[in-house]
Structure 1
């Protein structure tokens, strides 16, 4: 009988930080962009099951949600991310808006293979997805980037896009002036030679080549803007729409653009695609990346990447984190599951009879 490992590889938040330190942030994000691109090019729907995420949302203050994002790669593993979205966390509890963890399971045995923080991987894979989409859809050589919403996601969006585009000016806006005040400090470690410009939403939309919207706008409070006179090649990574009724972009702009969702069925429920009919939605991300012949046409016009967050991206970043962690000796194996030499005796640990 074949013996399987009974240890679960644990990667804490500090472990993941150490992986990035030892690997280097630039090298890591480059690897992640490469892995995601290759994964999309070789995506096999016959071997992957990825349902729409589900969970619980609650409107009583402080409102939020907890969702479950699974992916099943047949014959190999199940990856499950549990993610909480609570927009009032930074102000009320000094916590990130998004908190999460990722677990992976061996489908041969059900054994819990790994468990890791999901906050940092989620931020990184979201930014990597925007970079992959932008490379296919944005004007090559784009130099002007707009960031509406200057929270944690804005930092990694800037980082990932800077690896593919020769960015020179970064136009920023946030409803919270403090987020703009300290944005320069938060990107200091990226060592980017860029000009940071504070502006208003309308000016940013009308000026930049690539725009990332990553806001916590409330349900039924959108869009962020109505009027626009943007560049004919404007590409938008719409990251903040992740809940039914939550929208960042005006419908008219979507209708003038090629709209590419990360996960079509999910985006129709809680992405910008809520506003569109099926015939008004373009190819999804995996279709786009597998058909580079279409990129030049899309790059000439306006385009939108409707990024709601896809469990396949979680699988890719989780596997990369585990691979690098084991190679670097970061993390630890723990006995989390109750497995004994006598698998038919749940009381194997009791050395004498129990008196009742």
Structure 2
């Protein structure tokens, strides 16, 4: 491990001595969830105020292999960069690889020097959890002490990590079609100072906050199960046709989106938008508006945060990871760009 010129110094005109490779293991070691949540909140605020740049996500569709690539560029805070990520559902069976993999190239806007290449798969997991942390911070009931998790996979764990940063949880209820996944989740999270139990989707309705993280194309959470004032983080839908919530929930809730174009295309609202029962006028706010303006009145309503994931989140998270790794000289330094 080699130390490099600091990020601040790079912005002052000094060229770093290489590009830092930050692996998945490094991301897990140096990701600081409270710092990422704060960084994402600042990024949402910057984007809302016009102080960040985020061109539309672009797709390279590969129907012949049942997959696609997605390019997500942005500039926010002290960094700029792009996430190159794939979605190949057949990967686990065909190649023993994850469905989703990614890399983030993180650059200094002043010199354009590539400061880091970061594992985007782990980064995405943390920034997705942190986005729910930001929304829950601003939209959940002030006395929140219970969390329901629909889905018991890796993203459910980062949802718990983020929301437990914002609220002292007494109870976590987790539901999944796979009972062994629930058992594994409870075992892995047993270190937490709260009760963690398995439950049915209907039993999640008693919780103050619910996070959904499944790839379902059929609604799972029924409107009649959801109590007034519940906050829902709808995180699972990421492609046309996917939905986890009974559309009646959206009809009665204050819906907050991260980005209308992305959400209407592939977020939780995409199906009702496609059939004409949900329009842009039905959106209560963007998450940028929620963190910038006084929207405290929403805390008394049932709220849904439709999160598709924005490039500004990736770059804000990359900034935290790069700074943390640089501070301790973590990651391998390589020369990619010749001076």
- Equivalent residue for 2:244, pick from 244, 248, 251: 248
Structure 1 residue 322 corresponds to structure 2 residue 302: no
- Compute the displacement of 1:210 (Å): 0.6
Specify the alignment match of 2:113 in structure 1: 111
- Compute the displacement of 1:245 (Å): 1.6
Q: Please give the per-residue CA displacement for 1:289-317, whole angstroms capped at 9, x wherever unaligned.
A: 111x221x111110000010011110110
- Compute the displacement of 1:51 (Å): 2.2
Structure 1 residue 228 corresponds to structure 2 residue 224: yes
CA contact (8 A) 2:106 2:115 kept: yes
Specify the alignment match of 1:345 in structure 2: none
CA contact (8 A) 1:18 1:330 kept: no
- Compute the displacement of 1:271 (Å): 0.8
- Compute the displacement of 1:14 (Å): 2.5
Structure 1 residues without counterparts, runs of 5 or longer: 21-27, 341-356
Structure 1 residue 55 corresponds to structure 2 residue 59: yes
Provide the rounded CA distance (Å) in 1 between the counterparts of 2:317 and 2:121: 12
Specify the alignment match of 2:21 in structure 1: 10
- Compute the displacement of 1:266 (Å): 1.0
Name the Cα RMSD after superposition. 2.3
Specify the alignment match of 1:148 in structure 2: 150
Provide the rounded CA distance (Å) in 1 between the counterparts of 2:122 and 2:212: 19
- Compute the displacement of 1:105 (Å): 3.0
The TM-score with structure 2 as length reference comes to: 0.87
Task: Show the 5 A alignment for 1:11-50.
Answer: 11-20=22-31, 28-43=32-47, 45-50=49-54
Task: Show the 5 A alignment for 1:260-279.
Answer: 260-274=256-270, 275=272, 276-279=278-281
Provide the rounded CA distance (Å) in 1 between the counterparts of 2:327 and 2:283: 42
Provide the rounded CA distance (Å) in 1 between the counterparts of 2:317 and 2:251: 32
The TM-score with structure 1 as length reference comes to: 0.83
Task: Show the 5 A alignment for 1:140-289.
Answer: 140-188=142-190, 191-204=191-204, 206-217=205-216, 221-274=217-270, 275=272, 276-289=278-291
Provide the rounded CA distance (Å) in 2 between the counterparts of 1:301 and 1:166: 21
Say if 1:223 and 1:88 are closer, same or farther in 2 by CA, change over 3 A: farther
Provide the rounded CA distance (Å) in 2 between the counterparts of 1:82 and 1:122: 11
Q: Highest Rg: 1 or 2? A: 1
Say if 1:146 and 1:317 are closer, same or farther in 2 by CA, change over 3 A: same
- Compute the displacement of 1:87 (Å): 4.2
Q: Aligned to 1:266, what secondary structure does the other structure show? A: helix
CA contact (8 A) 1:87 1:216 kept: no
CA contact (8 A) 2:79 2:315 kept: no
Structure 1 residue 67 corresponds to structure 2 residue 70: yes
CA contact (8 A) 2:106 2:118 kept: no
CA contact (8 A) 2:68 2:87 kept: yes
Specify the alignment match of 1:294 in structure 2: 295
- How many residues align? The count is 321
Structure 1 residue 124 corresponds to structure 2 residue 126: yes
Q: Aligned to 2:43, what secondary structure does the other structure show? A: helix
Q: Please give the per-residue CA displacement for 1:7-53, whole angstroms capped at 9, x wherever unaligned.
A: 21211222223325xxxxxxx11111222223333446544221221
- Compute the displacement of 1:179 (Å): 1.1
Q: Which structure's relative contact order is higher, taking Cα pairs within 8 Å and 6+ residues apart?
A: 2
Q: Aligned to 2:156, what secondary structure does the other structure show? A: helix
Structure 2 residues without counterparts, runs of 5 or longer: 1-12, 273-277
